[in-house]
Amino acid sequence: QKEVEQNSGPLSVPEGAIASLNCTYSDRGSQSFFWYRQYSGKSPELIMFIYSNGDKEDGRFTAQLNKASQYVSLLIRDSQPSDSATYLCAVRDNYGQNFVFGPGTRLSVLP
Amino acid sequence: EAGVAQSPRYKIIEKRQSVAFWCNPISGHATLYWYQQILGQGPKLLIQFQNNGVVDDSQLPKDRFSAERLKGVDSTLKIQPAKLEDSAVYLCASSLGLAGGAQFFGPGTRLTVL
């Protein structure tokens, strides 16, 4: 059974701080990695995805991937109260299959 | 560009009844997914279609759940008979293709089984 693990939280950070969210996965065949944000009562929305080792930046968000250690992380700079949500990590293999979500980490940004 | 459409948005049924959910993916998206999300958990993939063929249904409880995508566009997910533990949000998502980047989700259908 392929697994994706995340700390369920809640992770609380003050407004303006950097929030760091981590995710580990069990399947070494995973090739694509996604971060979704889900507000309470809403459906997941894509933040960003990463395929290659290293960092990928998009605005206030940076995804970091380390395939050797099988972890992917998401950094949110200058956190805002509107960033308070559950963040879902998802992984997929190279054939577009075996799409597995983690349980999500609940982030609370305190004003 | 219109997003993924789902209906109904909410459904309340009694156990042992049947229910059906409908999904219309983003235009041009060949891959369609149905997920079950229980409160406090991440989405769990039930079935994945590529056009009108099933790619993965390994986690679909086939004794009570069925899904189809007859013309490679719209899809229907059915539960018959429903159990209490089926209470969840059922999410439909679509992507361009099997390796076509990320999935985009519809608003979901919240099912309550009494």
> In this predicted model, which residue has the larger pLDDT, A39 or A94?
A39
Interface check for B25 against chain A (CB to CB < 8 A): the answer is no
Q: How far is residue B7's CA from residue A94's CA, in Å, rounded to a whole number?
A: 32
B69, two tokens = 């995508």
Q: Is B94 a residue whose pLDDT tops 80?
A: yes
Residue that wins the pLDDT comparison between B28 and A77: A77
Residue B92: predicted pLDDT: 97
Q: How far is B33 from B75, CA to CA, in rounded Å?
A: 9
Q: Does A1 touch chain B (CB under 8 A)?
A: no
The answer to whether B28 and B42 are in contact (CB under 8 A) is no
> B84 φ, ψ to 5°?
-55, -40
Report in angstroms the alpha-carbon separations of B66 from A47, B24, B90: 31, 17, 13
- Nearest chain B residue to A103 by CA: give it: B42
* Tens digit of each residue's pLDDT (9 = 90 or more) over B35-61: 999 999 999 999 999 988 999 999 999
Predicted confidence (pLDDT) at residue B97 exceeds the cutoff of 90: no
Kindly identify which residue of chain A lies nearest to residue B110, measuring between CA atoms. A41
Locus of tokens 């998802």? A90
